[in-house]
Amino acid sequence: MRRSFGTHVGLVRRNNEDNHLGCELPDGRGMLLAVADGMGGYAAGEEASFLAIAALRAKWEELTGRTGLGEPFLVLLEGMRAANAAVYRAAVGDESRAGMGTTLTVAIMESRRVWVGHVGDSRLYLYRDDVLLPLTRDHSVVANLLLRGEISEGETQTHPQRHLLTNALGLDIGLRADYATLPVESGDILLLCTDGLTNVVCPAEISQTIRESPFGETAGRLIKRSLAAGGHDNITVLVVEV
C-alpha cells in the first residue's frame, strides 16, 4: 500500500492542533491510520489530539504486538476507548483544560477490508472509479441541519455554526462513536482529513485533485488547495492506496 501524508498549521492559527498516525505491521498484513483535530482553546486542543493519538498508538502496539492484528474490530474498539479515556482523565479536575476534547477518525485495514471508528467532524473518504464516497458523517450542528433538509450542501461551508460539534472524544468517560466495516478493492484510495481541508475545499475539488495528482503529491496538493482558499484552520491529510 502506498501512502501520502501531510499537515500544515494554516495561514491564521499560531499552533497546529491536528495530529495524525500511520502504523503498519511488520508483515504488511495490517495498517492503522488516524487523524485527530483538538479543541478546547490554545494549547489544550493540541494536547488533546496528541494524547488521543498517543493512546491509540500504545493500544495498537500492545494488542498487535502479542498476536498480530487478530480481530481488527476489537483493536479498533479498544484503541478508541483508550484514546477517549486518556483525554478525559487529563481534563478532569483541571480548569485550564475544561472543555478539552478532540475529533478522532480511525481506519484499520487488513487484506481487502477496512474497519472505521469515528467521533467528531474529521472525515474518511473512499475514492473509487473517479467517485469520492464519504464513509463518515460529521457529528456537528450543520450536519444535523443538512440531514433535516434545513440547509443545502453549499451552505454547510459558510454557515455561522459550521464549527460547532455535537460529539467529541474526551468529553465524557462513556465513549459515543460510530463504527463501520466495508470491503475495499485494489486501486481504491482512502482519504482521512481534518476539517481544515473540507471546510474550504468541496468534494468535487478533492476528487479532481486526487484524479490529477501523481500519488506521492496528492496530500501536498490538497493542502495547497486549502491554503489557496484561505487556510483558516490547521490542515491534515492522509492518503492511502490499497
pLDDT at 42: 57
Place of cell 481487502: 112
Q: What number of other Cβ atoms are within 10 A of residue 231's Cβ?
A: 20
Whose cell is 488533546? That residue is: 48
Which class for 96: exposed (0-12), middle (13-18), buried (19 or more C-beta within 10 A)? exposed
Average pLDDT over residues 221-237: 97
Tally the domains of the chain. 1
Lowest mean pLDDT among 86-95, 170-179, 180-189: 86-95
Q: How many percent of the chain have pLDDT more than 90?
A: 77
Strand ranges of the sheet holding 2-8, from the earlier edge strand across to the other edge? 2-8, 235-241, 189-193, 123-128, 131-134
CB 200 within 8 A of CB 230: yes
**Residue type present at position 237:** V
Instruction: Give residue 158's pLDDT.
Output: 73
| pLDDT, tens only, 127-163 | 999 999 999 999 988 888 877 878 877 777 777 777 7
pLDDT at 43: 67
Could you give the percent of the chain with pLDDT greater than 70? 99
> What is the pLDDT at residue 156?
75
What pTM was computed for the model? Answer: 0.94
Q: How many CB atoms lie within 10 A of CB 64?
A: 20
Q: What are the two backbone dihedrals, phi and then psi, of residue 190, each rounded to the nearest 5 degrees? A: -100, 135
pLDDT digits (tens, 9 = 90+) for 68-106: 888 999 999 999 999 999 999 999 878 888 889 999 999
Q: In this structure, what CATH number is given to the domain that contains residue 219?
A: 3.60.40.10
Domain, as residue range, for 129: 2-241
Q: Per 3-state DSSP, what percentage of the chain is helix, strand, and coil (rounded to 5)?
A: 35, 30, 35
The kind and range of the H/E element at 36 are strand 31-39
pLDDT surpassing 70 at residue 223: yes
